[in-house]
Amino acid sequence: MADGNTPQPNPDTPSSVGATRVLIADDDHVNRLILRAILAKEGYAVEVAEDGREAVARFTEWQPDLVLMDVMMPVLDGYEATREIKALAGDAFVPVIFLTALSDEAALARCVAVGGDDFLTKPYSRVILKAKIDALERVRRLHVTLRQQRDELAGHQRRLLQEHQVAEKVLAKIVHSGSLDASQIKYLLSPMAIFNGDMLLAARKPSGGLHVMLGDFTGHGLSAAIGTVPVADIFYGMTDKGFSIGDILATINDKLRVILPTDVFFAAVLLELDANHTKLTIWNGGIPDVAIRRVDGRVESLPSDHLPLGVIENEQLDRAVRVVEVEAGDRIVAFSDGFIEAHNPEGEMFGLERLVATLASEADPDSMFDGLLRTLGDFVGEGALGDDLSLVEITCDPAWAQARSSEAPRAFHPRAPMRWSISIELVPDTLRSVDPLPLVMHLLMDLQGLQEHREQLYAVLMELFSNALDHGLLGLDSALKQTPEGFVRYYELRKQRLAELDHGRVRISLDHEPDGKGGSLRFTVVDDGPGFDHSRVFAPLEENVSFFGRGIPLLKSICEHLEYTGSGNQVEAVYRWGNNEAGADSATHD
């Protein structure tokens, strides 16, 4: 190889585009004169060397385009001189034509072995000499062109890689892990290219629940991954404000309809676990069946029942969700089509049935995720995956929400206590199309900046509003939730009665009074329905393991004051913040 300090032949020097430079190395003075005269007459630039060592030195200094090399020379023979010249040339193509009177096949083979490109036998023919030089010069110029194109491609590749690395870092910050690092979540994202057309997002709701979205854009690589930016931005922003998955998917669909080409869409499943991990809400548009591995080992499959996002207008988009009862220890498994469409070397597809059977056969639930990946790996073998592959497992664990609630709050800077009031009234059309809780919470955070109290305030607002709507206006009885069938029936009735609601309204009022370094926030929720029996006695919150009867005890554990009046149509709750911490330790309950 060439020494890094040795000047290298430069294909871009004037010699490569002007007269061809030829170096003649021959210890015979007459031969040198004859060859020089022939070449000079044909328009070549010529230099000469009397032995192999001088030939190497002249090559280094002059950087010729072609070398005529005698075999038998003193000091350094043509074989060794050629070997050194080829090493000095590096990856540049510098043809060497051996000048020889030898006819021995072994000697000629050695000429080729050390790097020779052609032979010229003595006595020299002017016509043949020119033909050989011209032929090798054409090859050399082609080699120069190829080197330039190679270098340009390498430069483009470097720039493209740098741009991909920057884009990957930007995307990673935007499409961050959110709550995917939670102990109850296991996941795998395996892209075919640098960029992933699959995406997996998880975020905690203000109420303590969990949102998870698994999505799959059409195609692979950057073109598929570019849509993840607005989707992640909408998902995290709206989840943080407390919006439902129906509102989130409608906003995503509206955005993707504007920015995506007509041949690109976004298959997605949105999952919502409530804070107690007793209720799973699912919307699935184009993602394979979501599987639930029950504590007793049964596996239930919940198929897709909607179109992917970005296909139809929001007016035609079906936001209907499926509500399923779950319990501690149940495991929810979602995956992209790349998982079940993986093929083995024989062309057989992994398939949904094999996946479900694997989930059901695993004796240890904690090993289920790794066992599924191991089964897929054994099935695929040495074959390559044909699509982006994603898998997520969520374990229902009510203790997770409780543990998160007990974490030390993040540092925050609330605004100085101010006196203010807000009120909002909702009629049937509004109740069917708008979730008021995120809007009210957004106003509350903007007005007073109570981020540290956000979960407690959201829980209060949600319970008060849900009681007014579900029990006050819709007349639903939470006792329906005593059985799995009743649990599903409750939400079916809620959807039906809300669709049929033609009168009634709910008014939500918030009044804030400064109190020293804190304040007192008064919630008043009024509905004009028949009301409900708010005086029913339920088990204490810590003893209630059923799916109903937890709302009012929860409110009493959070609020300083809670009072229902009349038939339950009006409720007033007071929450204190600041020096007087809200909660069960300092509250006085009615």
Read off the amino acid at residue 193.
Answer: A
pLDDT tens-digit profile of 363-377?
A: 899 999 999 999 998
pLDDT of residue 144: 87
Encoded tokens for 480: 């329906």
Q: If pLDDT is split at 50, 70 and 90, which confidence band does 351 have? A: very high
Look at residues 387, 449, 399 and name the one whose alpha carbon lies nearest to residue 578. Answer: 449
pLDDT of residue 270: 96
101 vs 547 pLDDT, higher one: 101
Encoded tokens for 203: 């975020």
pLDDT at 544 over 70: no
Neighbours of 327 (CB within 10 A): 15
pLDDT of residue 590: 35
pLDDT of residue 558: 87
Burial of 23 (0-12, 13-18, 19+ CB in 10 A): buried
Average pLDDT value for residue range 180-206: 78
Encoded tokens for 335: 């995956």
pLDDT at 583 over 80: no
Measure the CA–CA gap between 534 and 525, rounded to whole angstroms.
Answer: 14
Q: If pLDDT is split at 50, 70 and 90, which confidence band does 5 have? A: very low
**In angstroms, what CA-CA distances link 92 with 1, 89, 174?**
12, 5, 46
Encoded tokens for 280: 């799973």
Average pLDDT value for residue range 432-451: 83
**In angstroms, what CA-CA distances link 462 with 281, 459, 465, 470, 549?**
17, 5, 5, 11, 14
pLDDT of residue 190: 74
For 322, the 3-state DSSP assignment is: strand
Is the overall model pTM greater than 0.85, yes or no? no
Cα torsion angle, 470, 476, 480, 485, sign: negative
459, 208 contact by CB (below 8 A): yes
Cα torsion angle, 236, 238, 243, 247, sign: negative
Measure the CA–CA gap between 371 and 379, rounded to whole angstroms.
Answer: 12
Peptide bond into 123 cis (omega under 30): yes
Q: If pLDDT is split at 50, 70 and 90, which confidence band does 434 have? A: confident
Question: Percentage of the chain with pLDDT > 70?
Answer: 83
Measure the CA–CA gap between 498 and 465, rounded to whole angstroms.
Answer: 14
200, 187 contact by CB (below 8 A): yes
Q: What is the mean pLDDT of the chain?
A: 82
Encoded tokens for 92: 């540049």
pLDDT tens-digit profile of 447-503?
A: 887 888 888 888 899 889 988 998 889 988 888 877 777 877 888 888 899 989 998
pLDDT tens-digit profile of 228-277?
A: 888 888 998 899 888 888 889 999 999 988 888 877 889 999 999 988 88
No. of helices (H) and no. of strands (E), the chain: 17, 20
pLDDT of residue 10: 46
Average pLDDT value for residue range 302-324: 90
pLDDT of residue 582: 42
CATH 3.40.50.720 corresponds to the domain 14-148: no
- DSSP letter, residue 327: -
Neighbours of 352 (CB within 10 A): 18
Q: What's the CATH superfamily of 408-577?
A: Histidine kinase-like ATPase, C-terminal domain (3.30.565.10)
389 vs 5 pLDDT, higher one: 389
266, 227 contact by CB (below 8 A): yes
pLDDT at 355 over 90: yes
291, 300 contact by CB (below 8 A): yes
Read off the amino acid at residue 481.
Answer: K
Phi, psi of 137 (to 5 degrees): -65, -40
pLDDT of residue 7: 44
3-state secondary structure 489-501: HHHHHHHHHHHHC
Pairing of strands 66-70, 21-25: parallel
pLDDT at 205 over 90: no
pLDDT of residue 64: 93
Look at residues 380, 385, 377 and name the one whose alpha carbon lies nearest to residue 193. Answer: 385
334, 340 contact by CB (below 8 A): no
Measure the CA–CA gap between 465 and 467, rounded to whole angstroms.
Answer: 5
Average pLDDT value for residue range 37-51: 92
pLDDT of residue 213: 93
Measure the CA–CA gap between 152 and 563, rounded to whole angstroms.
Answer: 77
Encoded tokens for 38: 């022939």
Buried b / exposed e across 509-523, counting CB within 10 Å, b at 16+? ebbbeeeeebbbbbb
Measure the CA–CA gap between 399 and 405, rounded to whole angstroms.
Answer: 10
pLDDT of residue 414: 62
Q: If pLDDT is split at 50, 70 and 90, which confidence band does 408 have? A: very low
E strands present in 456-588? 506-515, 518-527, 561-565, 570-577
pLDDT of residue 60: 93
327, 296 contact by CB (below 8 A): no
pLDDT of residue 101: 75
Q: If pLDDT is split at 50, 70 and 90, which confidence band does 333 have? A: very high
What is the chain's percent helix, strand, coil content, to nearest 5? 40, 20, 35
pLDDT of residue 108: 76
Encoded tokens for 540: 């204490």
Read off the amino acid at residue 243.
Answer: F
Q: What's the CATH superfamily of 175-403?
A: PPM-type phosphatase domain (3.60.40.10)
pLDDT of residue 427: 92
Look at residues 321, 333, 318 and name the one whose alpha carbon lies nearest to residue 370. Answer: 333
- DSSP letter, residue 64: -
pLDDT of residue 541: 46
For 348, the 3-state DSSP assignment is: coil
pLDDT tens-digit profile of 120-157?
A: 887 778 888 888 888 888 888 898 888 889 888 888 88
Measure the CA–CA gap between 420 and 438, rounded to whole angstroms.
Answer: 19
Residues written for the chain: 590
pLDDT at 15 over 90: no
pLDDT of residue 332: 96
Secondary structure (DSSP) of 557-580: HH-SEEEEETTTTEEEEEEEESSS
Question: Percentage of the chain with pLDDT > 90?
Answer: 32
Measure the CA–CA gap between 304 and 269, rounded to whole angstroms.
Answer: 8
Q: Is 219 left (phi over 0), alpha (psi -120 to 50) or beta?
A: left
Neighbours of 120 (CB within 10 A): 17
The ranges assigned to domains in the chain are 14-148, 175-403, 408-577
Look at residues 378, 446, 385, 379 and name the one whose alpha carbon lies nearest to residue 415. Answer: 446
pLDDT at 204 over 50: yes
pLDDT of residue 167: 66
Look at residues 128, 119, 70, 71 and name the one whose alpha carbon lies nearest to residue 97. Answer: 119
pLDDT of residue 372: 92
pLDDT tens-digit profile of 20-37?
A: 899 999 999 998 998 999
Q: If pLDDT is split at 50, 70 and 90, which confidence band does 164 have? A: low
Read off the amino acid at residue 432.
Answer: R
Measure the CA–CA gap between 576 and 28, rounded to whole angstroms.
Answer: 108
- DSSP letter, residue 250: H
Neighbours of 5 (CB within 10 A): 5
Average pLDDT value for residue range 520-548: 69
Q: If pLDDT is split at 50, 70 and 90, which confidence band does 359 have? A: very high
Q: If pLDDT is split at 50, 70 and 90, which confidence band does 401 have? A: low
Read off the amino acid at residue 118.
Answer: D
